[in-house]
Amino acid sequence: MKLKIERRLVESRQRTIYITILSALSLIAIVFLAYGVNPILAYEKVFYGAFGSWYSLSETITKSIPLMLCSIGLTLAFQTAVWNIGAEGQLLMGAIFGSGVALSFPQWPAYLLLPTMFLAGFVGGALWSFVPTVLKTKFQTNEVITTLMMNYIATKILEYLLCGPWRGKETWGFPYTEIFSSSAQLPTIGTTRIHYPTLVTAFLMSVALYILLTRTKLGFEIHVVGKNPEAARYVGINYTKIILLVMMISGGLAGIAGIGEVAGIHHRLRIGISPGYGFTSIIVAWLSGLHLSSTMSISILYGGLLVGGEMIQISLGLPIGVVEMFNGISLFSMLIGEFFSRNKISFEISSKGG
Amino acid sequence: MSTIKMKGITKKFPPATVALDNVNFSVKKGEIHCLLGENGAGKTTLMNVLYGLIKADSGDIFVEGKLVKIDSPKDAIELGIGMAYQHFSLVPTNSVAENIALGHPSASFLFPLKMVKKTIKTLSERYGLSVDPDSKIWQLSAGEQQRVEILKVLSKNPRLLILDEPTTILTPQEIKNLFQALKQMAAEGRTIIFITHKLDEVMAIGDRVSVLRKGKLVKTFETVKTNKQELARLMVGREVLFRLERPSVQLGKVILEVSDVCALNDRGVPTLRNVSFSVRENEILGMAGVAGNGQTELIEVLTGLRKATRGSVIILGKDVTNQSPKNIAEIGVAHIPEKRIDIGIVGDLSVADNLILRGYGKAPFSKGIFLEKGNIEKHANKLAKEFNIVTPSINTPAKLLSGGNIQRLILARELHGEPKLIIASHPTYGLDVAATEQIRRWLQKQREQGVAVLLISEDLDEIFSISDRVTVMFEGTIMGTVDADKAKLEDVGMMIAGAKTGELCIEVKNRT
């Protein structure tokens, strides 16, 4: 028996998706079985936990908002072949900048304070992606490393602020700031936690970026830089300018996601505002095949996985690690899906001569 | 007796391409066997089957009479088959020695470079393929990379050596050296398959020749029993016009004036040394010379991709020294780059998008910040028709086009803006006879319309077929300039090898 791998001439996106889903479900099933849990039952619980009631659906959407904002920004960066692994840190810096505004001007009316916070969040995130991009263009540093490292710096700055100058007076020693004034809190839909101004921003930004990439001169330049930087140089497109711009948009959107969390959910700055949204978004961006048209729906799917995963932790008594494995397994499954879509595999009985 | 026999090889690429159609091909021990055919005839595909890169749909391969299965290059290498590719399989960021050590069966686990460097030295001295083992591949010109590619295969000491169009960018001297080395290897009992579309090479080196046309093996000859005309006819199915008629035209004003230009290469070494020349309206200036003698750097200086450390470049009376590529393109300079797939196109973008790579920022392709998709499509359809770009649709990714069609695409784009100066680097490198002829005709037509053309090529046939004057670059300086009608090929060959024109007593006259 001999394994034969041959490159297919035509890749099928559909085949990728089917194989990805199938292999993810079967790999996770192994984990469930190892815990003595019936995988079918577990999947059912995850699904109902995520989409089974109005409440769970609203939670799913709430959790998908930061994923949307981060992953549309990452999609743009990845399209330009800049590997931004720093959405998590950019999200935190956005939250820090926005919280700074909220804590400094609590008396401002909401119509002034909230937009200023969004702006500050964008600036915070953009600044955090600007630094590694400048290092990349000036000194050819690898942005995968620098953006990743910037995450840790952001986490440490957050910890310093919360344990030091920004710690609230009535937080019983917890590393929290004071609760924001009511004008710094985002409105939600009814009794749900869906902070709709952020959701609308995410939707508008994804439409705007879609138009940017498909209809504009700048979008054309982004495609050329992303797909062949040498050709960009040859026709005189300014590489540095394009990737700085793209990375600042990418970081800025992650920063706005941070505002959504502090102003929409927690109403204060605290440790643990993001359970790794910035990292999960990398998977969301890849799974949507770097198409902005699929990013929103994949974000909701992953929001659902987070909510449904919490559900089975409680109802099936599974450790949180199992849920966290979803992310890794789904990315791995996508690689499997892409491999099978790109290559034709066959077995043959070989009688090798010579 | 046949060393290698391929029997009934058929390979189809869905949906409708039959790359190889029941091909029977065999080579004898110790012979140099030329595989002749146009681009797309199936030469490389046939050899890829033999080398295990492509699996044939049907057919058998016999080595020394035994049926073998070659499923991967590893199998082929074990059988003593080695192949040098036309498109180089080198790692750009690694050095020459590292590339040769990579996957080398006898490289030692520790310090493999030491042994490899010795091999490189021995081999390059033996075959006259000199190359610095410590240079990074990306710093080398296409010609030097070709040398590395050949050395890489030679270093494995193969019994059968497949060379895929190895001479395309070598100098006459280098070709002579290579041919000598190949003959020597054949005499030692090695077999050589030599893929080419050049008839002269077949006659110069081949013991036998097999002609492929559209996936079919037309005929196998002993070279002494055939002639160029017959081979050419079998190869293309019609008689070919080799030399283009050059209608005489009045030379106009000077379009490009280069004075005393100096520049460094990527390694920071002074590479251009006081280069001065000019090109006028209605003139094609052919620039000959071995790759790596400063041509790449010169083109980059002229098109704004590299800074000149001194001297000036004046185009249409305007000083454009060290201006941006965009500014230079906008005053009417077209650039047909040497590395057409790496630089000239964006492979993942559509044909239509590639056609507006220069003009996307201007009317009618954009308005304000938006692209005008309708106009872009109209433009693409028009140019595809005008320049015979064969593509399934204008929305097809450019990387799926054949080499000739990619070059037509680049020409269509570069000539569209009615340029005043065309800088064309190896414009027909690796193209088939039909595409080559067409591209030379287009350049010729531009000349008749008053455009100044700077043609940089290592192919002397190309230079002489369309140039008015021929200038030679050697180690970063201009060796001399001769009138194309009066110069002898041999004289230019001497300059390429570093001899000054003064010693050759060629008088250059301005034609009016």
Q: Which residue has the higher pLDDT, B168 or A289?
A: A289
Task: Tell which CATH classification among 3.30.420.40, 3.40.50.300, 3.30.2040.10, 3.40.50.1470 matches the domain B2-236.
Answer: 3.40.50.300
Contact at 8 Å (CB) between B465 and B435?
A: no
Compare all CA atoms of chain A with the CA of B359 and give the residue at the minimum distance.
Answer: A235
Mean pLDDT, to the nearest integer, of A322-341?
Answer: 81
Q: How many other CB atoms are there within 10 angstroms of residue B362's CB atom?
A: 13
> Which of B357, B365, B373, B399 would you mutate first to test chain A, the one with the most A CBs within 10 A?
B357
- What averages of pLDDT result for each successive group of 10 residues across chain B (512 residues)? 85 76 92 84 89 91 91 88 80 87 71 80 78 86 77 85 79 77 84 85 91 89 85 66 67 93 87 94 90 89 94 94 92 92 92 94 91 95 92 90 89 91 90 84 91 89 87 89 78 68 41 35
Contact at 8 Å (CB) between B88 and B143?
A: no
Distances (CA, A) of B14 to A28, B9, B72, B83, B395: 37, 16, 22, 26, 19
Length of chain A: 354
Q: Select from B13, B67, B303 the Cβ nearest to the Cβ of A353.
A: B67
**Cβ–Cβ gap B360/A220 under 8 Å:** yes
Q: CA B81, CA B158: separation in Å to the nearest integer?
A: 6
Smallest CA–CA distance, residue A139 to chain B, in Å, is 16
DSSP E strands in chain A: the ranges are: 2-7, 343-348
Location of structure tokens 């160029």: B228
What's the pLDDT score for residue B246? 72
**Cβ–Cβ gap A236/B304 under 8 Å:** yes
Q: CA B475, CA B485: separation in Å to the nearest integer?
A: 25
List CB contacts of B505: < 8 A, sequence separation 6 or more.
Answer: none
What does B131-198 look like in DSSP terms, one character per residue? Answer: --TTSBGGGS-HHHHHHHHHHHHHTT--SEEEEESTTTT--HHHHHHHHHHHHHHHHTT-EEEEEES-
Smallest CA–CA distance, residue B42 to chain A, in Å, is 17
Tokens read off for B97 = 């020695």
**Does A78 map to a domain?**
yes
Question: Residues of chain A with pLDDT > 70: what percent?
Answer: 97
Q: Which residue has the higher pLDDT, A13 or B98?
A: B98
Q: CA A190, CA B199: separation in Å to the nearest integer?
A: 82
Paired sense of beta strands B208-213 and B32-36, if any = parallel
What's the pLDDT score for residue A17? 77
Q: CA B370, CA B360: separation in Å to the nearest integer?
A: 10
Length of chain B: 512
Contacts of B366 in chain A (CB under 8 A): 217
Residue A31 sits at φ, ψ, to 5 deg, of -60, -45
Rounded to an integer, what is the distance from CA B449 to the centroid of its chain? Answer: 27
Q: Do domains B2-236 and B254-332+418-504 have the same CATH topology?
A: yes
pTM, 2 dp: 0.74
What's the pLDDT score for residue B496? 73
**Cβ–Cβ gap B357/A235 under 8 Å:** yes
pLDDT tens-digit profile of A98-157? 999 999 999 999 999 999 999 999 999 999 999 999 999 999 999 999 999 999 999 999
> Which of B346, B353, B358 would you mutate first to test chain A, the one with the most A CBs within 10 A?
B346
Residue B165 sits at φ, ψ, to 5 deg, of 45, 60
Between residues 322 and 381 of chain B, which touch chain A (CB distance below 8 Å)? 324-327, 329, 335, 337, 342-349, 353, 356-358, 360-361, 366, 369-371, 373
> How many interface pairs between A and B have CB atoms less than 8 angstroms apart?
84
Q: How many domains does chain A have?
A: 1
**Cβ–Cβ gap B79/A354 under 8 Å:** yes
What's the pLDDT score for residue B86? 66
pLDDT tens-digit profile of A290-313? 889 889 999 999 999 889 988 888
Mean pLDDT, to the nearest integer, of A85-100?
Answer: 97
Range of the domain at A331: 53-343
Q: CA A7, CA A345: separation in Å to the nearest integer?
A: 9
What's the pLDDT score for residue A252? 98
SS3 B211: strand
Question: Looking at residue A315, which CATH number applies to its domain?
Answer: 1.10.3470
Q: Select from B69, B342, B360 the Cβ nearest to the Cβ of A352.
A: B69
**Does A126 map to a domain?**
yes
| CATH of span B254-332+418-504 | 3.40.50.300
List CB contacts of B99: < 8 A, sequence separation 6 or more.
Answer: B90, B91, B137, B148, B152
> Which of A12, A215, A217 would you mutate first to test chain B, the one with the most B CBs within 10 A?
A217
Paired sense of beta strands B366-367 and B333-336, if any = unpaired
Q: CA B258, CA B358: separation in Å to the nearest integer?
A: 24
Residue A289 has pLDDT above 90, yes or no: no
For residue B56, the surrounding DSSP H or E stretch is none
List CB contacts of A204: < 8 A, sequence separation 6 or more.
Answer: none
* B75 CB-side CA count, 13 A: 18
| Residue of B172, B46, B163, B152 lying closest to B103 (CA atoms) | B152
Contacts of B335 in chain A (CB under 8 A): 234
**Cβ–Cβ gap B373/A215 under 8 Å:** yes
Residue A339 has pLDDT above 90, yes or no: no
- Whether B41 contacts chain A with CB within 8 A: no
Rounded to an integer, what is the distance from CA B166 to the centroid of its chain? Answer: 10
Tokens read off for A230 = 């040498």
What's the pLDDT score for residue B509? 38
Q: What share of chain A is helix, strand, coil (3-state, %, to 5)?
A: 70, 5, 25
Tokens read off for A89 = 């840190």
What's the pLDDT score for residue B264? 93
Tokens read off for B7 = 């029997």
List CB contacts of A147: < 8 A, sequence separation 6 or more.
Answer: A83, A84, A85, A86, A89, A129, A132
Contacts of A350 in chain B (CB under 8 A): 69, 71
Contacts of B67 in chain A (CB under 8 A): 353-354
Tell me the helices (H) and strands (E) count for chain A, helix number first.
Answer: 13, 2
| Residue of B193, B179, B226, B216 lying closest to B26 (CA atoms) | B193
The dihedral through the CA atoms of B79, B84, B85, B87 has a sign that is positive
What's the pLDDT score for residue B438? 87
The residue ranges of every structural domain in chain B are 2-236, 254-332+418-504
Mean pLDDT, to the nearest integer, of A40-45?
Answer: 90
